[in-house]
């Protein structure tokens, strides 16, 4: 019942923070940070070992300013570690949600959350950010997205008295019962038909995928789909993508920034165009050459999830780049801002027949083999040839390799050659990232 009370009180506080003084949010996040650090040290072996190795104790972290004392954790540090090192003691992973992140840098790993943490990250904060964008209670929302690669708890504990009632109340308050999910990997004609049937007030999805749908809508002269707004995410939305989507749907486009590890991190302000950081959920540091960057400067995103207790993320390097904005947004809300998100780049692949393929379809085909893949990268060298680089976690069998090739060839079709290259390591770009999906034929990102 302790977790239920913590989640309920957090949800209640969050609902009030949009109009709260900045001082209240700072006090809230400092308190949450102290609780999180103490919990991680006491209950999570990885963080106990990290702190002990560097002579740190939970009492050394009193405010957000003290976070710099904690070493940064990178994906390479925890990828391959089991739940016995990363998940809090006393939790059975059979009772947890499992989220498998593909990793925009081509480095997949698994995230575990309790059902209540899952709800808090996906519904409570989503509700606030959607309202800030102008989404109304009762709006029909269509989300065009890749199928989830995680799963709900395999075994559910019996809920304690009152827990179910609290959860039902939070769901009603979140107003998330009119969402329709559309598989981003089905043919564009089927996606458009689903949108016709849904007649959504709001359309949301991956920026590149929605840009492809927008192109198709314009080419066939479709005019019956009339959302009030379109919300993009998951990858950098370029000015060209934004204009294409807005023109096709005749609606404004607002962008969001989130990850599987942190859910919603920041949401575009409808007034200033900067991104409101969810300061009461995540502490975002932007770091370049070991130092915090100032307004207008670019840095790597180092983030701390204030509400992840099952599997904490403290000073976690997301591998993304962003530009620091103002300490408080000019629109008047008490949240800090990012000017823009950089580096989350996914190129669509131009096929020989002139159509475009969103390359996440290639990742989806590879997913049954993700157990042995440590890193991957898809490069379209020509319209007739796509190369997949794979650095294995464990040695794959000849059957594994043959099956992977067969799956990818099925996605690409008979007119495109697929080449699989197994390498020891995939080198990072000069930015410190790896573009997991890159086209040398035509790139929106240059």
The DSSP result for 264-288, as a single string, is EEEEE-TTTSSEEE-TTTEEEEEEE
Least confident of 126-130, 134-138, 170-174, 412-416: 170-174
pLDDT confidence of residue 232 = 92
User: Distance between CA 303 and CA 9 in Å, rounded?
Assistant: 23
Q: For residue 275, list its beta bridge partners.
A: 268, 338
Whether pLDDT at 364 is above 90: no
Look at 35-49, 115-129, 131-145, 341-355 and tell me which has the smallest mean pLDDT.
Answer: 115-129
Identify the weakest region by mean pLDDT among 235-239, 248-252, 410-414, 421-425.
235-239
b or e along 386-402 (b: 16 or more beta carbons within 10 Å of the residue's beta carbon)? Answer: bebbbbbeeebeeebbe
Higher pLDDT, 7 or 430: 7
103 pLDDT tier (thresholds 50, 70, 90): low
Quickly state the pLDDT bin for 162 (edges 50, 70, 90).
Answer: very low
Instruction: Look at the domain 2-342 and name its fold.
Output: Rossmann fold (3.40.50)
- Tokens standing for 264? 């919603």
For 333, the 3-state DSSP assignment is coil
Q: Looking at per-residue confidence, does 119 or 278 come out higher?
A: 278
- What pLDDT does residue 104 have? 54
Regarding beta strands 373-382 and 385-392, do their DSSP bridges make them parallel or antiparallel, or are they unpaired? antiparallel
In this prediction, residue 11 carries a pLDDT of 64
Domain edges within the chain? 2-342, 349-439
Considering only residues 220 and 431, tell me which one the structure prediction assigns the higher pLDDT: 220
What pLDDT shows up at residue 414?
Answer: 94
* Cα–Cα distance list, 72 to 116, 281, 309, 344 (Å): 27, 19, 18, 20
Question: 56 is written with which tokens?
Answer: 């740190």
What DSSP designation does 104 have? T
With beta carbons less than 8 A apart as the criterion, state whether 150 and 98 touch.
Answer: yes
Q: Say what the pLDDT of residue 14 is.
A: 67
A 10 A CB-CB count for 342 gives 18
Report pLDDT digits (tens) over 284-325.
999 998 899 999 999 999 999 999 999 999 999 988 889 999
Over residues 177-225, the pLDDT tens digits come to: 578 889 887 888 899 999 999 999 999 998 888 988 998 999 999 999 9
Give me the pLDDT at residue 170, please.
46
pLDDT of amino acid 199: 94
Cα 336 from chain centroid? 19
Q: Residue 424: what are its φ and ψ, rounded to 5°?
A: -75, -35
pLDDT at res. 246: 96
pLDDT tier for residue 440 given thresholds of 50, 70 and 90: very high
Name, in order, each residue with C-beta under 8 angstroms of 169's C-beta and a sequence gap of 6 or more.
Answer: none
For 84-98, the pLDDT digits (tens) are 999 999 998 888 888
By the 8 A CB rule, do 254 and 229 touch? Answer: yes
Q: What confidence score (pLDDT) does residue 380 get?
A: 94
Q: Would you say 37 and 67 are in contact if contact means Cβ atoms under 8 Å apart?
A: no
The CATH class that applies to domain 349-439 reads alpha beta
Q: According to the per-residue pLDDT averaged within each range, which of 133-147, 231-245, 284-298, 363-377 is highest?
A: 284-298
Higher-pLDDT residue of 245 and 237 is 245
Residues in the chain: 446
CB of 267 within 8 A of CB of 128? no
169 vs 190, more confident: 190
Most confident of 82-86, 173-177, 256-260, 359-363: 82-86
The C-alpha atoms of residue 87 and residue 83 are separated, in whole angstroms, by 5
């Amino acid at each position: 019942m302790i977790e239920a009370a913590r989640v309920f009180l957090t949800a209640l506080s969050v609902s009030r923070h949009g109009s709260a003084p900045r001082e209240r949010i700072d006090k809230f996040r400092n308190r949450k940070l102290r609780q999180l650090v103490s919990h991680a040290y006491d209950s999570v072996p990885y963080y106990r070992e990290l702190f002990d190795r560097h002579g740190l104790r939970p009492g050394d972290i009193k405010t957000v300013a003290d976070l710099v004392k904690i070493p940064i954790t990178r994906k390479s540090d925890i990828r391959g570690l089991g739940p016995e090192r990363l998940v809090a003691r006393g939790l059975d992973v059979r009772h947890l949600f499992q989220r498998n992140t593909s990793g925009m840098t081509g480095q997949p790993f698994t995230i575990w959350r309790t059902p209540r943490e899952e709800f808090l990250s996906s519904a409570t904060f989503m509700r606030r950010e959607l309202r800030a964008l102008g989404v109304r209670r009762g709006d029909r929302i269509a989300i065009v997205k890749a199928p989830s690669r995680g799963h709900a708890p395999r075994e559910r504990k019996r809920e304690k008295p009152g827990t179910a009632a609290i959860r039902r109340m939070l769901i009603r308050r979140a107003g998330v019962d009119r969402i329709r999910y559309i598989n981003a990997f089905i043919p564009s004609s089927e996606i458009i038909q689903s949108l016709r049937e849904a007649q959504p007030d709001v359309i949301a999805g991956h920026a590149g995928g929605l840009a492809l749908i927008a192109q198709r809508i314009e080419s066939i002269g479709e005019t019956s789909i009339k959302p009030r707004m379109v919300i993009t995410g998951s990858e950098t939305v370029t000015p060209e993508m934004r204009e294409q989507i807005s023109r096709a749907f005749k609606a404004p486009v607002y962008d969001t920034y989130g990850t599987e590890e942190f859910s919603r991190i920041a949401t575009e302000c409808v007034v200033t165009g900067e991104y409101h950081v969810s300061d009461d959920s995540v502490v975002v540091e932007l770091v370049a050459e070991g130092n915090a960057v100032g307004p207008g400067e670019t840095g790597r995103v180092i983030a701390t999830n204030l509400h992840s207790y099952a599997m904490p993320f403290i000073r976690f390097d997301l591998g993304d780049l962003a530009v620091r904005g103002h300490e408080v947004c000019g629109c008047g809300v008490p949240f800090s801002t990012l000017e823009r998100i950089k580096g989350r780049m996914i190129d669509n692949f131009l096929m020989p027949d002139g159509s475009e393929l969103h390359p996440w379809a290639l990742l989806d085909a590879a997913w049954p083999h993700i157990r042995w893949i440590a890193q991957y990268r898809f490069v379209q060298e020509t319209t007739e040839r796509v190369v997949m680089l794979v650095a294995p976690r464990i040695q794959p069998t000849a059957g594994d390799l043959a099956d992977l090739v067969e799956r990818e060839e099925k996605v690409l079709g008979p007119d495109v050659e697929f080449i699989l290259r197994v390498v020891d390591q995939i080198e990072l770009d000069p930015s410190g990232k790896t573009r997991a999906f890159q086209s040398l034929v035509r790139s929106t990102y240059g």
